[in-house]
Amino acid sequence: MAPLRAITPGVSMWTILAINSVTFGGLLFLLSAGFSLIFGLMRVPNLTHGSMFMLGGYIGSTAIVTWHLPFWLAAALAAAAVAVFGGVVERLLLRRLAGSVLAQVLVTLGIAFMVSDFCLMVWGGDPISIDTPSALSGGTRTLGVYFPTYRIAIILIAVVIAALLWALLERTRLGAMIRAGVDDPEMARVVGIRVSRLFTVVFCLGAALAGFGGIMGAPILSVYPGLDFAMLPLALVVVILGGTGSLIGSLVGSIVIGFIYNFGLVLLPQLAYFILFLPMVVVLVLRPQGLFGRAAP
Partner 1 sequence: MANEALALSGIDAYYGDSHVLHDVTWSLGEARLLGLLGRNGAGKTTCMNVTMGVARPRRGAVTLFGQNIAGRAPEDIAARGIALVPQGRRVFRSLSVHENLLVAARKPEAGGKHAPWGFQTVYAAFPRLKERRHHLAGHLSGGEQQMLAIGRALMANPRVLLMDEPSEGLAPRIVAEVMATIRRLKEQGLSIVLVEQNAKLVFDIADDIVILNSGQVAVAGTAAGLRDSGIDLHQYLGIY
What does the alpha-carbon distance between residue 259 and residue 239 come to, in Å, rounded to a whole number? 15
Question: In the range 235-254, which residues lie near partner 1 by CB under 8 A?
Answer: none
With contacts defined by CB under 8 A, name the span among 68-76, 105-113, 175-183, 254-262 that binds partner 1: 175-183
What does the alpha-carbon distance between residue 187 and residue 170 come to, in Å, rounded to a whole number? 20
Comparison of 79 and 178: residue with beta carbon closer to partner 1 = 178
Comparison of 125 and 192: residue with beta carbon closer to partner 1 = 192
Comparison of 195 and 216: residue with beta carbon closer to partner 1 = 195
What does the alpha-carbon distance between residue 54 and residue 225 come to, in Å, rounded to a whole number? 8
Q: Which of 16, 152, 177, 276 binds partner 1 (CB under 8 A)?
A: 177
Give, to the nearest 10 degrees, the angle between helix 49-65 and helix 71-92. 140
- Residue 165 Cβ, how far from partner 1 at the closest point, in Å? 17
Cβ-based neighbours of 174, under 8 Å, separated by 6 or more: 168, 198
Phi, psi of 146 (to 5 degrees): -90, 120
Helix, coil or strand: residue 180: helix
Q: Is 131 in the site for partner 1 (CB under 8 A)?
A: no
Amino acid at 229: F
Q: Is 183 in the site for partner 1 (CB under 8 A)?
A: yes
* Burial (CB count within 10 angstroms: exposed 0-12, middle 13-18, buried 19+), residue 156: exposed
- Residue 173 Cβ, how far from partner 1 at the closest point, in Å? 6
Comparison of 11 and 174: residue with beta carbon closer to partner 1 = 174
Q: Is 168 in the site for partner 1 (CB under 8 A)?
A: no
Question: In the range 185-204, which residues lie near partner 1 by CB under 8 A?
Answer: 186-195
N-term to C-term CA, the chain: 62
- Residue 172 Cβ, how far from partner 1 at the closest point, in Å? 10
What does the alpha-carbon distance between residue 266 and residue 249 come to, in Å, rounded to a whole number? 26
Q: Is 179 in the site for partner 1 (CB under 8 A)?
A: yes
Q: Is 295 in the site for partner 1 (CB under 8 A)?
A: no
With contacts defined by CB under 8 A, name the span among 29-37, 42-50, 93-101, 184-192 that binds partner 1: 184-192
| Residue 64 near residue 218, CB atoms below 8 Å | no
Q: Is 267 in the site for partner 1 (CB under 8 A)?
A: no
Q: Is 180 in the site for partner 1 (CB under 8 A)?
A: yes
The CB density around residue 49, as the number of other CB atoms within 10 Å, is: 30
Comparison of 96 and 194: residue with beta carbon closer to partner 1 = 194
Helix, coil or strand: residue 210: helix
Q: Which residues contact partner 1 (rule: CB under 8 A)?
A: 173, 176-177, 179-180, 182-184, 186-195
